[in-house]
A and B are shown apart, each in its own frame.
Chain A
Amino acid sequence: QSVLTQPPSVSAAPGQKVTISCSGSSSNIGNNYVSWYQQLPGTAPKLLIYDNNKRPSGIPDRFSGSKSGTSATLGITGLQTGDEADYYCGTWDSSLSAYWVFGGGTKLTVL
């Protein structure tokens, strides 16, 4: 059971938009930057979004991030079949000593 809660799965048709939520608390999301990672099947995770809403170079603007209070959201527009992957949110948690936490992951299916 992760400290950060994500829906196990989401789905949408090609060209549509989807959002993935990441819910936490004041000890993690509420007071720290959130990053998002995409893991395509059989590959290592890749950074998609950092500092809540910034995109690394090379990440298309179809991917966006936002944060409000103790929740964060990843948005993907213009869905492509190549976006089918697992998506993870992550941030620091300072409830005990500072440690990093990942969400449980969300499987995106592009129908």
Chain B
Amino acid sequence: QITLKESGPTLVKPTQTLTLTCTFSGFSLSTSGVGVGWIRQPPGKALEWLALIYWNDDKRYSPSLKSRLTITKDTSKNQVVLTMTNMDPVDTATYYCAHSLTGTTFDPWGQGTLVTVSS
């Protein structure tokens, strides 16, 4: 059974850097074809894809946020970390991580973590 769980601060101040950790079980990020993605959802709004890291350390980013995002993996800890710099109130959202197989699906998803950006 694959499970993922997001962790990190619930409140960050504008201009700060957000660091979120996705801790997973039931699969290995060293297995060919496997990836972990990050997706966010502002309150009452649509899903927005942020980034994806593959087993071979290939990384993909949303073009609109690429300059602010970094995704890394720690295979030994079964963790994927997403950092987002220069946070703004418009970045307030629930942040999800999800398992990806061959990059064509996101399944399953973590429960999500709500991050509020406010001074």
Contacts and interface: CB of A to CB of B under 8 A. Distances in A.
Interface string A69-105: 0000000000000000000101010001111111111
A7 to B, nearest CB: 13
Interface in B41-87: 46-49, 52, 60-63
Contact of A99 (B49, B96, B106, B109): B49
B60 A45 contact: no
Contacts of A56: 107
A110 B96 CA distance: 27
A2 B46 contact: yes
B33 interface: no
Contacts of B9: none
A45 B49 contact: no
A63 interface: no
For chain B, the bracket of interface size reads: 20 to 34
B60 A97 contact: yes
Contacts of A88: 46-47
Nearest to A51: B104
Nearest to A102: B47
A87 B91 CA distance: 22
Interface of A: 2, 32-33, 35, 37, 39, 44-47, 50-51, 56, 88, 90, 92, 96-105
A45 B109 contact: yes
Contacts of A50: 104-105, 107
Nearest to A49: B105
Contacts of B37: 100
Contact of B46 (A35, A47, A105): A105
Contact of B106 (A2, A47, A51): A47
Contacts of A98: 60
Nearest to B62: A99
A105 B47 contact: yes
A33 B111 CA distance: 25
Interface string B17-40: 000000000000000000001010
A104 B41 CA distance: 11
A46 B47 contact: no
Contact of A102 (B49, B105, B108, B111): B49
